[in-house]
Amino acid sequence: MKLLVVVLFIINWPVSALMLTGEVESSQTQEIIMPMVRSWRAEIADMATEGSRVAPGDFVVRIDGSDLDATIEAQQEALDVYVAASKRDMTQLQIDLNNAHLAYEKAQVDQQIAELKASVPLEFIGELAFKERQLALKQSLKTLADNKKKYQALQLRIKEKQKEVDLGLEQKHKELVYWQERLQNLTMNAQQDGFVIHATHPWNGTKYQIGDQVRTGLVIAKVSKTTDMRVKAWINAIDLPKISQDKVVTVQFDALPHVKLSGKISHISAGGHDKKNWGEGLYYEIIVALKNGNDIGLLPGMSALVWVEDI
């Protein structure tokens, strides 16, 4: 039946007309793009049914994230180990600090006692005892200075270690959140009301479906409104000189064979794309703005024929 309709279209148009195939879409269309993944492509794990109507926040596409699950698990484990090790190290440092504080306080007492003994005059204790007490005083002063230095060094070490721990925790939390967000980004929801349309592979023209491996950066699906309808079509580079910006065209639709609409080319892409299923050569995307396109019940995804006359 579709073949018959296309033949009838061709019969009703001049031989000199250029015929382009296209698809109806809304200018208010959200494109769902394959996000950045570790490798250059990833698998589509689930998709909303094509043609289903969605509201903002509704599920559209989910990408397989099993590799990210393993990464997140490893990151969480690394964070837990770091927290436990940091707590152990801080506890040991605090024990060392307490011991150093006790040693410092004892050295202060020992120094005070040694100072009292050393203050006894030579004539009361004899030369040997006097020299021994003076030597003990020097040793107590050295021990006090060493213990004070050790105590202060541990106080500084604890402050530095706490900063190190805090920075490490912040970094590991950021790493974990980064991978969690990467996983969340693999589930893509609608940002507007509209109908779900599965995108087609740019080379072979097949519709994407669950289980397909898709390269990063390619459009997987669209959420299209039913207002501000237009037609996106493709033209071979050989025929590109035959069209121009604002050129008036006529559009017909497979689903509405008796309807003809006037349109105008509103956009011509700057670069071409390969479409292996159409043969060799580059194809350029054009956008056709429709006159009265909202009055005939057009739906996104409908196939269309764009007729360019006077070529």
Confidence class for position 38, pLDDT limits 50, 70, 90: confident
Confidence class for position 200, pLDDT limits 50, 70, 90: confident
- Reference 155, options 85, 100, 87, 84; nearest CA is 100
Structure tokens at 305: 């024929």
With 0.85 as the threshold, say if the pTM is over it: no
Domains of the chain, by residue range, sit at 1-28+225-311, 29-64+186-224, 68-183
CATH architecture designation of domain 1-28+225-311:
Beta Barrel (2.40)
* Residue pointed to by tokens 């926040």: 57
Q: What is the CATH number of domain 29-64+186-224?
A: 2.40.50.100
Per-residue model confidence as pLDDT tens digits over 159-196:
999 999 999 999 999 999 999 998 888 999 999 999 99
What is the chain's percent helix, strand, coil content, to nearest 5? 45, 30, 25
Provide mean pLDDT across the span 278-293. Answer: 84
Structure tokens at 136: 């003990």
Is residue 5 over pLDDT 80? no
